[in-house]
Every structure is written in structure tokens, then in C-alpha cells.
Amino acid sequence: MKEKIYITRKLPASVVKKLEGEFYIEMWGQEEEAIPREVLLEKVKDAQAVLCMLTETIDEEVLDAAPNLKVISNMAVGYNNIDVEAATKRQIIVTNTPGVLTETTADLTFALMMATARRLVEASDYLRTGKWGTWSPMQLTGMDIHGATLGIIGFGRIGQAVAKRAAGFGMNILYYNRSQKPEVEKETGARFAALNDVLRESDFISILLPYSEEVHHLISDKELRLMKKTAILINTARGGIVDEEALYDALKHEMIWAAGLDVFEKEPINPRHPLLTLPNVVTLPHIGSASIATRMKMAELAVDNVYNVLVSAGRVKRVN
């Protein structure tokens, strides 16, 4: 009997093809709809591999329901939807898809920074709703990016890629990270600084940390009060790093100038969430890696991870 791989979202046939023949593949048939929890629990019962998305919480309950599971392949850069410790105890290998989305996410981060600073969404809505009747000197004025100071919190692959883009705009770059990156400092002119100094001195603050309990609500009321009143906060990392209630208060009471958010603590965000009522917030539905080429590469890497664990690592015999 062939080993079963369960895929929690519909993927292109060209991507899944690599697994066909050697494995029995079952796949949730929806592309735009997350798999219901009860269906996931049922489908993993006899699965040796699960290829999942950030939308699936793979916890003790799921692992208990899947006694034959050997590998969890997460089509994402992180793991915060997976109980890695529980999986490790069961000798289940957990993989992700880093690297392939670095440049695309850096592009989106910079685009979100520009859209927020220059009020592009607000300006487009202003025109489309018939409010544009004349030109005036201070109409829809925003913040300059060139020559401004960008503070990057988390200087991994994506943070470094954002710094390279910022250098091209003549920005001053500060960064906070667990360790210094001398080579990138030489290339971009970035300067290592303490978190509080980054918050105080930056015109733009870009959050690019991986999520963990250690950084939950790293940016909350105290940190927001350190920022300039003209500062713009950009989060394309994970929602839980920012205290959304504190951010709402800071924006509403003009403690900071604006925010651009691609991620939220609970996704999808409730359309009635207070943050969505504010004109100085640009919001996106977690599309950091959403270019066609990058999403295809992520899917291919996730499939390769399953294949490499089950076949290349000798966990199952090939079916001829």
C-alpha cells in the first residue's frame, strides 16, 4: 500500500506531479477556503505526511489523530502554526519554505511603506468617491521616504533585503537584531542599535522578526510612546508581535502618524476590527509572498520537502 500524503489546500497539478505514482495523494479541493478543523482531523488519521498552510493549526490534537505521521511540510517561512516541540517528541520532521520568498516579501514591505507614507490607498479612494474637486497645496500630503531614517527590527534575510532597497532610496538605516551583521552594514550603511534607540530615532519602523512567544507584543504601549509622532510602523512579519489594541490607541490619539499592516493577530481579521476604521492605516490580507513566481516556488519546495523526507531519507521504499 502506498504512503498517504494529505495536502490541506488545492495546489497546481504541475507542482503535485512529483509525488504522483510513488504516493497516494489526497487534497482539500478548495483554493480560497481553509480546510475545516473536523475534516483535517479525519483526513490525517492514516497520513504519513501533511503539507499544510499557515491557516492550519497543527497541535497535539492533530498529532494525536495522526499516529503514522512522519513529516509536516509547512508552506510558509515560519512554524508558529505548528507545535514543533510536540512533533519532535513524536519524531515527526517539520519543514518550511524559507529563502524563496525573501525578495518578494522585501518588495511588498517597501511597497507597503511607500503606500502608507504617501497615502496612496486613501488618495485613490478620494478620487473614486468624487471628492477630488480641485488642487490645493496640502491636499493628501504624506511623508518623504528618501533621506528618512528606517529602523528595521529583525535583520535576517528579509530585513537585509529591505535594507538594500532602502539604501537605494538614500535612507539612513538602523537595525535591531540578536547579532550584528558587519558585511551588510558595509553594503548598506546600516547601523546596529538598541531597540529603544531604533524606536526613538526612526521615521519608519519595519518589523521583520520571526514570531515566538519571546517577542509576543514586543511592540506595545511603552514602545509606541518612544516613537516619533511622525513615525510610520510597518508590519509584514507576524501579527502577534504588535499589540493591536495599543496600536489602535496610538494611531487614534496621533501618538504615531500611520501604520501599514500585512499581518494580524487573528487572521483573517474581523472586518469590524477597530484598526480598519482608521484612515491612517493601510491594510493588506497577508500577501507578503504573493507573487505568482514565489508562491509556485514555495509550493514546489514544500513538495520537495515531503519527497526528500519520505524517499531520499529512506523512510519509505520507492514504488516501481
Which CATH number goes with the domain that contains 273? 3.40.50.720
Catalytic annotation, pick one of 119, 286, 295, 300: 286
238 is known as an active-site residue: yes
User: Is 319 inside any structural domain?
Assistant: no
Residue 261 and residue 219 share a domain = yes
265 lies in a domain?
Answer: yes
Same domain, 78 and 168: no
Question: Rounded to 5 degrees, what are φ and ψ at 210?
Answer: -70, 145
Inside any domain, residue 231: yes
CA 273 to chain centre: 20
Dihedral (Cα; 52, 26, 94, 87), 10-degree rounding? 100
**What range defines the domain where residue 298 resides?**
3-100+293-312
pLDDT band at 314; cut points 50, 70, 90: low
Average pLDDT of every residue of the chain: 95
Of residues 185, 202, 227, the one with CA closest to residue 148: 202
Mark whether 297 and 258 lie in a shared domain: no
Domain count, the chain: 2
**Is the same domain home to 92 and 153?**
no
Same-domain status, 94 and 107: no
pTM: 0.93
- Residue 147 shares a structural domain with residue 74: no
Sign of CA dihedral 274, 122, 205, 111: positive
Give the pLDDT mean for 28-42: 94
Residue 161 lies in a domain: yes
Whether residue 205 is found in the same domain as residue 301 = no
| 317 found inside a domain | no
Q: Order of strands, edge to edge, in the sheet holding 3-7?
A: 23-27, 3-7, 49-52, 71-74, 93-95
What is the pLDDT, as a whole number, of residue 317? Answer: 46
Asked if the model's pLDDT at residue 318 lies above 50, the reply is no
Same domain, 160 and 278: yes
User: Which tens digits make up the pLDDT trace of 164-185?
Assistant: 999 999 999 999 999 999 999 9
Residue tagged active-site, from 119, 238, 244, 295 = 238
Q: How far apart, in whole angstroms, are the C-alpha atoms of residue 73 and residue 310? A: 11
Domain assignment present for 320: no
By percentage, how much of the chain surpasses pLDDT 90? Answer: 95
Same domain, 59 and 90: yes
Report if residue 288 sits inside a domain.
no
Domain identity same for 113 and 235? yes
29-33's contacts with Cβ under 8 Å and 24+ in sequence apart are: none
**198, 151 in Cβ contact below 8 A?**
yes
Q: Is residue 15 part of a domain?
A: yes
Express each pLDDT in 9-33 by its tens digit.
999 999 999 999 899 999 999 888 9
Neighbours of 297 (CB within 10 A): 18
Whether residues 116 and 245 share a domain: the answer is yes
225 and 203 in a common domain: yes
